[in-house]
Amino acid sequence: MLLPSVCFCQWVHLGLPYEEVTAIAIDPKDGTRIFVGSGSDFSSGTRGRIFRSTNSGTDWEMVADQVDVTKLVINPASSNIIYATLGSSNASPSGIMKTTDGGTTWFRADSGTYPNPDISYISLAINPSHPDTMFVGKGGFSCGGLYRTTNGGEFWTAVTDTNGPECRPVTAIGIDPDSTNKIYASDNTGRIFVSTDNGETWRETLTGLLYGGRGYAYEFGKPTSTIYYAGSYTFQAQKAMFKSTDGGETWANIVNGIPGNYANVIALAIDKITPPHRLYIGLCWWTDFSPDSASGCGVFSSSDSGASWKYIGLDSASVYSLALSPDERFLYAGVNLSLPGYPRGVYRLSLIPNDSNEEKYPITQYALSQNFPNPFNPTTSLTYTVERGGWVQLTLFNILGQRVKDLVDRYESMGKYTVGWDGKSEENILMPSGVYFAVIRIGSIARTHLYFTDVKKMILMR
């Protein structure tokens, strides 16, 4: 992939390597409590789950199973109340689940929305001033629509104004924190609808801003009336990141510094402590219809409220969710799909240079050194450090992502190890000159927790 600059960002993998993470929610009052949702996969036959961590992602506990999570939202007034919207992939039951005890038990909270196997629940937003008032959007093969509750999900009523997103798949919802009667909703055709009376009446603004695309997320900034909007690319808006400074009446396409031609901006997060806002987006380039100068995925940041963007890593990982810790010292990313070198799961990036607080997490105390010599012919060596005992897998891949050989696949106790490669495949065939990747994964013996992963680029020259 062609990127605008080299990134020396150190993302730390926090585990859940086999989960297609679609949602992350962090307790706004206790940044050590993190909730993660994963999606169901029809092709593999798996179903998603909900996990909880009470130590900033060092350990995970599964708290719900057999679900296809699309979004997790924490009640701002009571962080033990959490809502999960559910899709219908792989016959998972769609709808809304709720917990009132911090994730230990869950129950249905979708009465009045009429869940059915053809419908996925995609988006949910809580009124920050009146947390029992919420909006949820759903969509699928049959009629979608927007629903509202004023009693914390006990019962929902459909938004029926024909000028609004009635019966449309509602893919993103935003509630203005400074004027909570003002609601924004987007559908899967790129339209934006706005209500100024808490969803009673609606009007469409800027018809077809993303015509043919869909909205993914809203975020609100300062000063009042500043809105950020992320969506999927269209031929009218080839890189779909927007900003409005007049409450959504007009929008500017803010993509300076983002390479490539067609980019879907799937995840969006914003710091809110001090303007100008720092923004974070997860995007993937689209190449199905036209050759692109960039490919794959990545995370970008802007320190000037979207005027320019800088690449900050995860170039082989499809990031479906981004979340900031309450003190805005850490950025968390949920990876749904990945290439060799980036397992699925949850990643964390320290936003404070040389942050000594990262040292308390044992996950950072492992290492894989660059092979030596490099370039090499015919042999080279790799050294890795195991801070505490675990299962070590060190695998070689070619530039196409095809597995070449497992150098290590066994339990190792704490210590420093060196292993050599003679340039041959698992079948003892001499490999040709080229670029190869050494990927290390260190985790629990049961392989349910991944402590560390890293990748090194090697060059074989015959």
pLDDT digits (tens, 9 = 90+) for 280-307: 999 887 654 444 445 577 899 998 888 8
CA 276 to chain centre: 24
CA distance 24 to 266: 13
Report residue 364's pLDDT band, with 50, 70 and 90 as the boundaries.
very low
- Cβ atoms of 24 and 346 within 8 Å: the answer is yes
Amino acid at position 460, single letter: L
**CB proximity list for 335: less than 8 A, separation 6 or greater:** 21, 314, 317, 318, 319, 320, 342, 343, 344, 345, 346, 347
Half-sphere exposure of 106 (CA within 13 A, CB side): 23
Least confident residue range of 53-67, 99-113, 242-256, 341-355? 341-355
Taking residues 222-238, what's their average pLDDT?
A: 78
Q: How far apart are CA 71 and CA 123, in angstroms?
A: 7
Dihedral pair phi/psi, residue 362, rounded to 5°: -65, -20
Does the pLDDT value for residue 441 go beyond 50? yes
Q: SS3 for 238? A: coil
Q: What tens digit of pLDDT does each residue of 388-438 get?
A: 667 889 999 998 888 899 999 887 777 788 999 999 999 999 999 999 999
pLDDT at 448: 53
The share of the chain scoring above pLDDT 70, in percent, equals: 85
- Judge whether 59 and 45 are in contact, CB under 8 Å: no
Does residue 161 register a pLDDT over 50? yes
Tokens at residue 171, please?
Answer: 């893919």
Q: Which residues pair with 137 in a beta bridge?
A: 123, 146
pLDDT of residue 184: 94
Cα 313 versus chain centre, distance = 13
Q: Terminal CA-to-CA distance of the chain, rounded, Å? A: 26
Q: Is the pLDDT of residue 201 over 50?
A: yes
Per-residue pLDDT, 42 = 58
Task: Give Cβ neighbours of residue 225 (< 8 Å, ≥ 6 apart).
Answer: 244, 245, 246, 247
CATH architecture of 366-460: Sandwich (2.60)
- Judged on CB neighbours under 10 Å (0-12, 13-18, 19+), 1 is middle
Residue with tokens 């469409």: 204
Model confidence at 268, pLDDT cuts 50, 70, 90, reads: very high
Average pLDDT, integer, range 139-143: 76
Checking if the pLDDT of 112 tops 90, the result is yes
How far from the centroid of its chain's Cα atoms is residue 9's Cα?
Answer: 17
Strands of the 95-99 sheet, one edge to the other: 69-74, 82-86, 95-99, 107-108
Tokens coding 219: 């975020």
Q: Worst-scoring range by mean pLDDT, 165-179, 256-270, 291-305, 416-430?
A: 291-305
15 pLDDT above the threshold of 70: yes
Angle at 221 between CA 227 and CA 57, to 5 degrees: 110
pLDDT at residue number 290: 45
pLDDT averaged over every residue in the chain: 84
In the predicted model, is pLDDT for residue 170 greater than 60? yes
- Give the per-residue pLDDT at 359: 36
**Would the pLDDT of 131 be above 90?**
yes
Of residues 332 and 363, more confidence is placed in 332
Ranking 6-20, 168-182, 223-237, 353-367 by mean pLDDT, the lowest is 353-367
Q: What CA–CA distance (Å, rounded) separates 393 from 72? A: 33
What number of residues does the chain have? 462
Specify the range with the lowest mean pLDDT, choosing from 44-53, 332-341, 375-384, 397-406. 332-341
Nearest to 300 by CA among 268, 330, 332, 272: 268
CB 422 within 8 A of CB 381: no
Residue pair 56/34 in contact by the 8 Å Cβ criterion? yes
Q: Minimal CA–CA distance to 39: which of 83, 64, 70?
A: 70
Q: What was the pLDDT predicted at 3?
A: 42
Q: What is the pTM of this model?
A: 0.75
**Coil, helix or strand at residue 364:** helix
User: Measuring CA to CA, how many Å separate 189 from each of 8, 193, 218, 408?
Assistant: 38, 12, 16, 49
Identity (one letter) of the amino acid at 183?
A: I
Out of 7-11, 100-104, 158-162, 352-356, which region has the weakest mean confidence (pLDDT)?
352-356
| CATH class of the domain defined by 11-363 | mainly beta
The pLDDT confidence band at residue 346, using thresholds 50, 70 and 90, is very high
Confidence of residue 358 (pLDDT cuts 50, 70, 90): very low
As given in the structure block, the two tokens for residue 439 are 């990927």
Q: Where are the domains of the chain?
A: 11-363, 366-460
